[in-house]
Amino acid sequence: MDDLFDLCDCGGFEDDAVSDLPAQSLPLIGDSAPAFSAMTTNGPIHFPGDFAGQWVVFFAHPSDFTPVCTSEFIAFQGILDDLHKMNTRLLGLSVGSIPSHLAWIRAIREISDVQITFPVIADVNMDIARSYGMISPSASDTSAVRAVFVIDPNGTIRAILYYPAVLGRNMDEIKRVVVALQTADAFTVATPADWVPGRDVLVGAPSTTDAVRRAGNMADWFLTYKKLPESEINAKIYKKNTGRTKK
Ligand code: BEZ
């Protein structure tokens, strides 16, 4: 989609310069999230420095003023408070310019009464999108795919969701990913299929007869469930946000 609002000199590129762009690569789970500085709708940011000590849900979307993206922005704003309670910041990105993002955010407020408050990066020259593998190699244009990177306070990528343009993301799943990762870290457990807080978690196989006796719900040596009350998770995870970010 043409960016009708790209009126500023924000570092855009000429068509014949596209081939000079660095090749993109998709960082993997366990990798350090690539560092960057960027202009956002809330001002300049430096990643990861501005987000030290916090989890980050960093998502890309293909285009401003498009229907799926609009529905997603409203939905992302809807989970912002829950994410903040989990010491998690939300950061959006698209290849559109700041004027385009601001005009779209204003239009969203007018049609839905929802004010988008999370920062949205203007990645006009696609440097950041390329460093995160957010440009689909098979796409006909240079729009970003619907990628989500969940990044922990150490700046390590812990989960990646990767959706095509026609498929809007599920906010409950994004929140579930964050709480599951934080639960796994806080309690040294794993979470089974379809887990949500309050359901049993999984622990490693016991290695002594005593541990077998004490083991919770052992279906077999390789599948041991353990109760983890939601209240215990809440006490550890939903604490007052003590992060240092200004955004
Ligand atoms: C959308 O957000 O609706 C959209 C964006 C890019 C391609 C197709 C759909």
- Both tokens of 10, joined, read 């924000």
b/e sequence 78-98, b meaning 16+ C-beta within 10 Å: ebbebbeebbbbbbbbbbbbb
CB-based contact 180:192 (threshold 8 Å): no
Q: Is the pTM of this model over 0.95?
A: no
pLDDT in tens, 34-88: 999 999 999 999 999 999 999 999 999 999 999 999 999 999 999 999 999 999 9
- Residue 73 CA to residue 100 CA, distance in Å, equals 14
Domain ranges of the chain: 15-169, 182-237
- Return the ligand 1 atom nearest residue 67 CA: 3
- Bridging pattern class, strands 88-94 and 120-122: parallel
What is the residue whose two structure tokens read 């240079």? 142
**Structure confidence by residue, pLDDT tens digits, 12-31:** 333 334 445 556 789 999 99
What's the mean pLDDT in 107-120? 98
Least confident of 127-131, 160-164, 194-198, 220-224: 220-224
Pairing assessment for the beta strands 146-151 and 120-122 based on DSSP bridges: unpaired
Asked if 223 and 202 touch (Cβ cutoff 8 Å), the reply is yes
SS3 content of the chain, % helix, strand, coil (to 5): 30, 25, 45
**How far is the C-alpha of 77 from the C-alpha of 21, rounded, in Å?**
32
Whether the CB-CB separation of 88 and 241 falls below 8 Å is answered with no
| Statement: residue 177 has pLDDT above 60 | yes
Determine the atom of ligand 1 nearest the C-alpha atom of 71: 2
Q: Is 165 in the pocket of ligand 1 (CB under 6 A)?
A: yes
Q: Ligand 1: does its nearest atom lie under 6 Å from the Cβ of 144?
A: no
User: Which of the two residues, 217 and 82, has the higher pLDDT score?
Assistant: 82
Residues sharing a CB contact under 8 Å with residue 148, sequence separation 6 or more, in sequence order: 57, 58, 59, 60, 159, 160, 161, 162, 169, 174
Average pLDDT, the chain: 87
Ligand 1 atom 1: residue of nearest CA: 68
Residues 15-169, CATH architecture: 3-Layer(aba) Sandwich (3.40)
Catalytic status, residue 10? no
- In the block, tokens 């789970």 appear at 29
**Residue 66 Cβ contacting ligand 1 at under 6 Å:** yes
